[in-house]
Amino acid sequence: MKIDINKFSFFIASTGSLNNYGSTLTSTKSALSTKDLSYLKDQADQDLFKDIQNGVNAIISTGFTVQGIIAINQQFTNSPIEAPTLPGHLRNYMYNEEDNVHMIAERSYSPNRRLLHPARNCY
């Protein structure tokens, strides 16, 4: 499967921005085109880049199914901020508080200003 580098660069940069990815679209595109991660801003960006790229590859090979989502979760091994404490499981905050999905409601993060997912199992 051929991936559009422009779209994939945007996907990596926008997805990574949720975790302070600071590399530009141009540097992300250069890293994808050349497979040279030195174009990226720092090690944290390189780690996020690898995790996102591995997650996309997992979906391509597994498909977008429950097993595919688990396969994505298992790929987050490079970036400490994204590394799952229980890789290979679906999120269920009823038994793992770290699985509680939330959305940041403002640009500057504050734990008191977030929207929590309703209480339910996420299967």
The pLDDT confidence band at residue 26, using thresholds 50, 70 and 90, is very high
In percent, the amount of the chain with pLDDT more than 90 equals: 33
The residue assigned the tokens 């051929």 is 2
Distance CA 2, CA 23 (A): 23
pLDDT in tens, 62-108: 888 888 877 887 787 776 655 556 565 666 666 666 666 555 545 55
Considering only residues 94 and 55, tell me which one the structure prediction assigns the higher pLDDT: 55
The chain-wide mean pLDDT, for the chain, equals: 77
- Give helix 5-16 / helix 43-62 axis angle, nearest 10°: 120
Using alpha carbons, list the distances in angstroms from residue 33 to 7, 14, 41, 55, 67: 12, 18, 16, 18, 29
**What HEC string does 82-93 produce?**
CCCCCCCCCCCC
- Token couple for 15: 């997805």
pTM: 0.66
